[in-house]
């Protein structure tokens, strides 16, 4: 049998047996996990062992707890379908197009109409090349920036999950042909369980930290090309004022000084500022300590079952914000998001198979830092309708 083909559990267990001093086998719906302390043979021949493990169809991870090194090997079952790379490529290309349209301030119907006129020779001298040149020139700064932020965020999750031997897909980008963003972001699907708090914390933190490392320079550069404008100018152009976090508020005052009353940053006016703003919103939404969001992973790794109290507080805060803005302005921001969290993602985090393994002091500090960053990037009012 070709070693690259899926193998029966018995054959994989026979191959792995010399690598463990003792082995625990964990069965899940679609995977089998072999885990245990490494044998002297494995420790001595680590390089050759890793070469052999890379040839198997699953994922592996070496971890150290105290003075003991553990090996975890995740074997995919027949239910785990191969990655559909064509689908990932199609979704990415579609999202490139929709973010280009958003950056160029074009609707899909406008783009298709201009393309049709160019193809039929009725475009007043504009060729197909001219249409795409305009789209790229006007839309690329925003498209490249926002896709880079979202892609790096999801890649952080992907590579950290792979680091722990988990079975995971590359990012699924989500195109949206309407609106000023052009995408609902991206997601990866982890197809094997997260075993313990250390892995949960690392996977949860990796995405927001990686995304913010890219988003912050883009945001600062965009702000350096911007300036506060009268609210009336924003109202006349887009009718919507996009909100601020503590971080954007601090950056604005650092770069421009106190913003006069009746003035605000028009985030849509600069593609880099707008992409950076979206990057902070993505980080804030994901870092909410609810369910299986990144923040829910982090909070559960730090607090265990007490995470649900933080999630309940978060939902209560969002409901209170919406109730206040509805009474005073007739506007809401969070009602749909709260419904999604409550009914789809749930508030509490599910337990872990090896929930008693320690996180460690350094990771604990990083976890609390991630939750502190959430406070800095959270936007109580992501948008307000200007009347």
Segment 320-330, tens digit of pLDDT: 999 999 888 88
Confidence category of residue 123, pLDDT binned at 50, 70, 90: low
Q: Both tokens of residue 79? A: 């239910």
- Nearest CA to 100 among 183, 38, 169? 183
Q: How much is the pLDDT for 120?
A: 81
| Separation of alpha carbons 63 and 117, rounded Å | 60
| Separation of alpha carbons 120 and 109, rounded Å | 16
Q: How much is the pLDDT for 384?
A: 86
Q: Both tokens of residue 7? A: 């193998």
Q: Provide mean pLDDT across the span 53-79.
A: 91
Which position has the higher pLDDT, 28 or 156? Answer: 156
Q: How much is the pLDDT for 346?
A: 84
Radius of gyration of the chain (CA): 24
36 in helix, strand or coil?
Answer: strand
Q: Provide mean pLDDT across the span 19-44.
A: 92
| Separation of alpha carbons 56 and 386, rounded Å | 58
pLDDT digits (tens, 9 = 90+) for 346-385: 899 999 999 888 899 999 999 999 999 999 999 999 988 8
Q: Provide mean pLDDT across the span 79-99.
A: 93
pLDDT digits (tens, 9 = 90+) for 310-319: 999 999 999 9
Confidence category of residue 214, pLDDT binned at 50, 70, 90: very high
Q: What is the CATH number of domain 9-76?
A: 3.30.70
Q: How much is the pLDDT for 129?
A: 84
Q: Is the pLDDT of residue 218 over 90?
A: yes
Q: Is the pLDDT of residue 143 over 50?
A: yes
Q: Is the pLDDT of residue 332 over 80?
A: yes
Q: How much is the pLDDT for 1?
A: 42
Q: How much is the pLDDT for 6?
A: 47
Average pLDDT score over the chain: 91
> Alpha-carbon dihedral of residues 90, 92, 93, 98, nearest 10 degrees?
120
Confidence category of residue 8, pLDDT binned at 50, 70, 90: low
Confidence category of residue 2, pLDDT binned at 50, 70, 90: very low
Q: Is the pLDDT of residue 30 over 90?
A: no
Q: Is the pLDDT of residue 48 over 50?
A: yes
Quote the percentage of the chain above a pLDDT of 90: 70
pLDDT digits (tens, 9 = 90+) for 180-195: 899 999 999 999 999 9
Q: Is the pLDDT of residue 114 over 90?
A: no
| Separation of alpha carbons 352 and 193, rounded Å | 8
| Separation of alpha carbons 250 and 376, rounded Å | 10
Q: Is the pLDDT of residue 57 over 90?
A: no
Q: How much is the pLDDT for 262?
A: 87
What's the whole-model pTM score?
Answer: 0.91
Name the burial class of residue 94, with classes exposed (0-12), middle (13-18) and buried (19+) by CB atoms within 10 angstroms of its CB: middle
Angle at 31 between CA 25 and CA 34, to 5 degrees: 25
Q: Is the pLDDT of residue 4 over 80?
A: no
pLDDT digits (tens, 9 = 90+) for 261-279: 889 999 999 999 999 999 9
Quote the percentage of the chain above a pLDDT of 70: 97
Mean pLDDT check: name the lowest of 76-90, 123-137, 232-246, 342-356: 123-137
- Nearest CA to 215 among 188, 192, 247? 247
- CATH 3.30.70 location in the chain: 9-76
């Amino acid at each position: 049998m070709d070693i690259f083909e899926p193998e029966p559990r018995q054959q994989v267990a026979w191959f792995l047996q010399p690598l463990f001093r003792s082995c625990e086998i964990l069965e899940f719906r679609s995977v089998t996990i072999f885990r245990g302390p490494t044998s002297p043979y494995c420790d001595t021949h680590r390089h050759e062992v890793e070469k052999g493990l890379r040839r198997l169809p699953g994922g592996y991870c070496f971890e150290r707890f105290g003075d003991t090194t553990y090996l975890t090997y995740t074997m995919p079952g027949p239910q785990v379908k191969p990655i559909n790379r064509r689908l990932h490529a199609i979704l990415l290309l579609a999202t490139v197009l929709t973010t280009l349209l958003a950056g160029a301030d074009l609707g899909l119907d406008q783009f298709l109409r201009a393309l049709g006129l160019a193809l039929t020779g009725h475009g007043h001298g504009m060729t197909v090349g001219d249409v795409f040149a305009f789209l790229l020139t006007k839309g690329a700064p925003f498209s490249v920036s926002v896709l880079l932020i979202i892609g790096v965020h999801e890649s952080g999750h992907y590579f950290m999950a792979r680091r722990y031997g988990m079975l995971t897909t590359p990012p699924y980008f989500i195109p949206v042909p309407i609106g000023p963003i052009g995408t609902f972001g991206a997601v990866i699907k982890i197809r094997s369980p997260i075993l313990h708090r250390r892995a949960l914390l690392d996977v949860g933190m990796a995405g927001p930290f990686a995304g913010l490392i890219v988003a912050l320079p883009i945001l600062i550069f965009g702000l350096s090309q911007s300036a506060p404008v009268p609210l009336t100018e924003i109202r006349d152009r887009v009718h919507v004022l996009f909100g601020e976090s503590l971080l954007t508020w601090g950056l604005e005052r650092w770069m421009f000084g106190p913003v006069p009353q009746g003035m605000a940053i028009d985030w849509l006016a600069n593609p880099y500022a707008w992409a950076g703003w979206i990057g902070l919103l993505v980080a804030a939404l994901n870092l909410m300590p609810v369910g299986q969001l990144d923040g829910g992973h982090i909070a559960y790794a730090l607090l265990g079952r007490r995470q649900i109290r933080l999630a309940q507080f978060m939902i209560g805060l969002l409901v209170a914000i919406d109730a206040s803005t509805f009474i005073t302005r007739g506007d809401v921001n969070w009602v749909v998001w709260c419904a999604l969290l409550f009914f789809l993602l749930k508030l509490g985090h599910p337990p872990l198979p090896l929930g008693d393994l320690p996180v460690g002091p350094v990771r604990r500090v990083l976890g609390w830092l991630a939750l502190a960053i959430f406070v800095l990037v959270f936007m109580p009012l992501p948008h307000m309708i200007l009347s």
